[in-house]
Chain A
Amino acid sequence: MKRLFTLVMFLLIVSPAWAALKVFATVPEWGALTEAIGGSEVEVFVATGGLQDPHRIQAKPSLIARARNADLLIATGAELEVGWLPLVQRESANPSIQSGQPGYFEAARYVSLLEKPARLDRAEGDVHAAGNPHIQTDPRNFLRVGRALAERLAQLDPAHAALYAANEKRFRERLTEAITRWEKAAAPLRGVPILVQHKAFPYLENWLGLNQLGSLEAKPGMEPTSGQLEAVLSRQRQQPAKMVLRPAYQYDAPSRWLAERTKINVVILPFTIGGTNEARDIFSLFDDTVRRLLQGMEVR
């Protein structure tokens, strides 16, 4: 009996050394990136799906339970998860994933953020003080975040540093090649006037040179009123945009309303992995995004 107890205690103490690094990713894109770089040495849990708005999630019991055992928490940051992640961190009782610890990684810190508000006032709607957090719509950001993430994984698990570096190099080469391909395919999109339902795509617009004329949401995070939509409609008649972009998880009524009244194509973009059936990983996410944008160019 005493021997069994000793064995159990030994296993309890030793087993973490054998186990893969447990990673808690708030959104699917960082989960996929961690898997690409960590390979078999990481065990990834993704907190949200492609059809969920990562801003509106609640600190569910399942998330707290998963965060309890995580070695690394990877979040977008820039206030995207501000409504629930701090609570999950606190309730998890896990000191290694608290902000400021090596086990807490914020992707937005490694890219330059766009749309930093000049005025911090909730009268502007749900603005993010640090800038727009939807950085995953520009594939070049994955290169930057990927490199930082490889270093972080190596810091947490030095035994596999070489593996992380090699995986990161392979991923970077493959993605760089794919970016050239996407940019070539998306060349006809340069300068194309578009509308967006929510200011979710500045990084995509910046990457492909889309010309964003406006947003259906007059204030971010607030559903547009009929008066605001009428204003968009009259602007659309004077200065027509080719298409209106909407993340797959967003309420479809405002963009549908506009499409019923003008010749504008509604383009539903996957936004992240799992947003559409086609977007299964980082590469198919952008394959699908570019394909849908090009489809949106066709005359309705």
Chain B
Amino acid sequence: MHTFLKWALAIGAALGSLPALAADADLEALRADLAQMKAVYEQRIAALEQRLAQREAKAAAADSGQAALAPASEGSAPAAANAFNPEISLILSGMYTNTARDARQDPTGVAGRERRPQGVLPSGLVSGVEARSWNLGESELALSSMIDPLFRGNLLLSIAPDDTVGVEEAQIQTLGLGHGLTVKAGRFFSGIGYANEQHAHVWDFSDAALPYQAFFGPQLGYDGVQVKWLAPTDLFLELGAESGRARGFPATDHAASKNGFLSGSLFAHLGGDLGVSGSWRGGLSYFQAKPRNRVYDDVDSAGNQVTNAFSGKSRTLVADFVWKWAPQGNPQVNNFTLQGEWFRRREEGALAFDTTGITPAANLTGDFRSAQSGFYVQGIWQFRPAWRVGYRYDQLSSPSISNGLIESGALTAADLPILSAYRPQRQTAMVDWSPSEFSRIRFQVARDQTRPEVTDNQLWLHYIMSLGTHGAHKF
């Protein structure tokens, strides 16, 4: 009985407690569910809040511009050390040349003498003297970069087809002087004239115009300093002065060993727009040098190859003008460029005959004065995108020479044949195709009458390509 009761009570209690047990389990489950739901919702709310915050931030950024003001490209800029590498560009050029006479040979047949115009005191450095057939042109490597906020540096190496490397330009330029002043120092092409500063690869023809060849053989360069001042006017007015060791003809500064300024030049350029379609630039320049013992070769009346030398003062005046036109100022389809320059050189001093002493008249010296002018004019017409045609006429006047050696009767004109009167002239036409801004292929023909004995018909097929940094569109 006792046991039964115990059991009954136990069962009863157990039975009685069952609902309570069940209720507890339900509650726990409910609690768990709630907790889970709460967690999920909290997660969702957090996510929503986060998204909202992002949206708000974005909206605020777009609205207030604070975030948008951070330069968009800043984050993507490479942080590598080589980000400071200078701008590099490379010019490749090469050509096929066809000439009636071998351009490297003088028609008199003296070996090693190069073609040169008659009637000009020779520069000894006539450009465009390629051999016939295929030739590699000048390869040009340019490196330039800002040095710091005040200076910019620029190096241009030219690699000649004979495997020699030359420094064409190596200069620093100021950017921070203000007041319209710019100073350049180092090796640079002079700012005189219009085409003098242009590198060969931007020339519109495959060779330099005759007056440049005859007067500056073919480009005036300096190892020195240049100061330019730009006037604070809407009309472009630039004044410049240069001084230093002039490189090459007509100076002989490479051999000079003295203090001072050596050679110097002054120039002024004026320019502006003519309506929306046209723009122009004109200028006047002056160059002065004091060549000492400037030698050149000639063949005297007896057929001896002699070396003569000039010493004195050389002054050159250049007037230049260029006008560019494009419909509505948009050169993409059609454009036209008219360009011309006029040169006049006066030289005063002494001419020494046969300085190496191979004839009886060796080292005869006499007063020498000469005045000579020359000009070229050219027009380039782009008749459809990528295609241009051009024509150039260039000419040198017959020099007016007063030569003490001949006037005194010591020598005859036949002893100095290169100086005998003649008016060299040439006509050149070209057509070129530039499929992109970086490539150009040119076909050029010329009728060269720079020497009395021969009319040389010349033909070029020339490619000029640029790699690397986008080139500058210089006016």
Contacts and interface: CB of A to CB of B under 8 A. Distances in A.
Residue from B65, B235, B279, B467 whose CB has the most chain A CB atoms within 10 Å: B65
A48 B270 CA distance: 21
Contacts of A98: 149, 175-176
A86 B180 CA distance: 16
Nearest to B279: A60
Interface in A94-134: 94-96, 98, 100-101, 108-113, 116, 122, 125-126, 130
25 contacts: A48-B329, A49-B328, A56-B330, A56-B332, A61-B279, A61-B281, A65-B231, A65-B233, A69-B232, A83-B437, A87-B472, A90-B173, A93-B177, A95-B178, A109-B72, A109-B74, A110-B68, A111-B72, A116-B76, A147-B69, A148-B65, A148-B69, A221-B436, A221-B437, A251-B385
B332 A94 contact: no
A110 B72 contact: yes
B234 interface: yes
A223 B329 contact: no
Contacts, number: 155
A288 interface: no
B4 interface: no
A82 B182 CA distance: 21
Contacts of B180: 68, 93-94
A51 interface: yes
Interface string A65-90: 11011000000000100111011001
Contacts of B435: 222-223
Contacts of A219: 436
Interface in B416-456: 435-438
Interface string B308-340: 000000000000000010001111110000000
A68 B232 contact: yes
A92 interface: yes
Interface string B172-196: 0101111111100000000000000
Contacts of B231: 65, 68
A36 to B, nearest CB: 16
A91 interface: yes
A147 B186 CA distance: 44
Contacts of B73: 108-109, 113, 130
Contact of A87 (B149, B385, B474): B474
A228 interface: no
- Find the residue from A57, A58, A109, A148 having the highest chain B CB count within 10 A: A58
A112 B75 CA distance: 11
A95 B62 CA distance: 33
Contact of A144 (B65, B152, B178, B236): B65
A120 B152 CA distance: 26
Given A90-B173, A110-B68, A250 B332 contact: yes
Contact of A58 (B324, B436, B467): B324
A141 to B, nearest CB: 10
A37 B428 CA distance: 54
A139 B462 CA distance: 47
B176 A90 contact: no
Nearest to B64: A147
Nearest to A94: B178
Nearest to B272: A62
A222 B438 CA distance: 11
Contact of A83 (B235, B328, B472): B472
A212 B129 CA distance: 53
A64 B236 contact: yes
Interface in B255-296: 269-273, 276, 279-281
Please name the 10 residue pairs, one residue from A and one from B, whose CB atoms are nearest each other, closest first: A61-B271, A61-B236, A147-B65, A65-B236, A109-B71, A51-B328, A83-B473, A58-B473, A95-B176, A62-B273
Interface of A is mostly: loop
Interface string A223-252: 100000000000000000000000001110
A90 B171 CA distance: 14
Interface of B: 62, 65, 68-69, 71-74, 76, 149, 152, 173, 175-182, 228-237, 269-273, 276, 279-281, 324, 328-333, 385-386, 435-438, 467, 470-475
Contact of B332 (A53, A87, A109, A112): A53
Contacts of A211: none
**Which of A86, A112, A122, A151 counts the most B-chain CB atoms under 10 A from its CB?**
A122
B388 to A, nearest CB: 14
B235 A59 contact: no
Nearest to B77: A130
A223 B384 CA distance: 11
A113 B437 contact: no
Nearest to B327: A51
A52 interface: yes
B76 to A, nearest CB: 8
A93 B437 contact: no
Given A61-B271, A61-B279, A52 B72 contact: no
Given A49-B276, A65-B272, A222-B436, A59 B473 contact: yes
A12 to B, nearest CB: 10
A22 B233 CA distance: 13
Nearest to B235: A65
A19 to B, nearest CB: 12
A98 B271 CA distance: 23
A93 B173 CA distance: 10
A231 to B, nearest CB: 18
A8 to B, nearest CB: 14
Residue of A95, A113, A249 with most partner-chain B CB within 10 A: A95
Contacts of B386: 223
